[in-house]
């Protein structure tokens, strides 16, 4: 696979509909989690900066040209620069970080900032975010909130994260999410620490199957709009 630019990365993530968020407490757990996710069929994952040695993990994973590795919980431009240098193909922040969009645009990396209210979401989009993470989605009304925001900003790819699980996944996708970010319900560190990798693989396959069923039943088309 040739190195994908920001637009292609957004399209790939939107096609997958589910992006695992790896937030664990060691590099070893992060690598085991990603191995399980790849076995389950995932083509991308977000490694949060709260993982010890996250940059090293990203650098190692970026060597696989078939796998899109991203970074999450970015809070400043220094972390953006380090992540891009390590090979991250998408960069996600839970807030609006001044300068993030410019750095990502220059590197042709997908930059994603966050908002919860209409004002915050619009501000992130105006700042140059390639999509907007809606976090924490469950705290603001869940799928109903996503649908309401999508109705107002149909051109903005929305990525609900926070409180997504196997039971409400379809509701978020049908509400208009471009894709969703899923953390603990999918990447459970306790399961990894106990060596229950098969449990992570099984859950990953369930997520992918559920997402495919939404598409087969005519779920909302993922938005992959980008500014020209």
- Is 133 among the catalytic positions? yes
Q: Which of 120, 127, 133, 213 is catalytic?
A: 133
- This prediction has a pTM of 0.93
Q: In whole angstroms, what is the distance from residue 89 CA to residue 163 CA?
A: 24
Beta-sheet pairing, 131-134 with 110-115: parallel
- Region 75-81: mean pLDDT is 98
pLDDT, one tens digit per residue, over 24-53 is 999 999 999 999 999 999 999 999 999 999
Q: pLDDT band for 2, please (50, 70, 90 cuts).
A: low
- Is 46 among the catalytic positions? yes
Q: Which of 46, 127, 147, 189 is catalytic?
A: 46
Residue 131 has pLDDT above 60, yes or no: yes
Contact call for residues 141 and 115 (beta carbons, < 8 A): no
State what percent of residues in the chain have pLDDT above 70. Answer: 94
Contact call for residues 90 and 13 (beta carbons, < 8 A): yes
Q: All domains of the chain, ordered by start, with CATH?
A: 6-216 (3.20.20.70)
pLDDT, one tens digit per residue, over 167-185 is 999 999 999 999 999 999 9
CA distances from 123 to 75, 108, 132 (A): 17, 21, 10
pLDDT, one tens digit per residue, over 138-153 is 988 999 999 999 999 9
């Amino acid at each position: 696979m040739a190195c994908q630019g920001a637009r292609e990365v957004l399209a790939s993530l939107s096609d997958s509909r589910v992006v695992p968020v790896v937030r664990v407490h060691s590099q070893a757990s992060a690598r085991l989690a990603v191995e399980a996710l790849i076995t389950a069929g995932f083509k991308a994952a977000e490694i949060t900066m709260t993982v010890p040695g996250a940059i090293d993990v990203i650098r190692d994973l970026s060597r696989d040209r078939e796998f899109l590795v991203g970074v999450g919980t970015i809070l400043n431009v220094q972390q953006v620069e380090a992540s891009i240098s390590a090979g991250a193909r998408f960069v996600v922040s839970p807030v609006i970080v001044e300068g993030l969009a410019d750095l990502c645009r220059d590197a042709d990396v997908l930059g994603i900032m966050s908002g919860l209210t209409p004002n915050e979401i619009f501000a992130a989009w105006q700042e140059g975010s390639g999509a907007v993470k809606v976090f924490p989605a469950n705290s603001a009304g869940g799928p109903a909130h996503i649908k309401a925001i999508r109705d107002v900003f149909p051109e903005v790819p929305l990525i609900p994260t926070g409180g997504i699980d196997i039971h409400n996944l379809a509701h978020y996708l049908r509400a208009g999410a471009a894709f969703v970010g899923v953390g603990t319900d999918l990447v459970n560190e306790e399961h990894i620490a106990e060596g229950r990798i098969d449990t992570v693989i099984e859950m990953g396959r369930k997520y992918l199957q559920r997402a495919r069923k939404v598409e087969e039943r005519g779920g909302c088309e993922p938005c992959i709009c980008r500014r020209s």
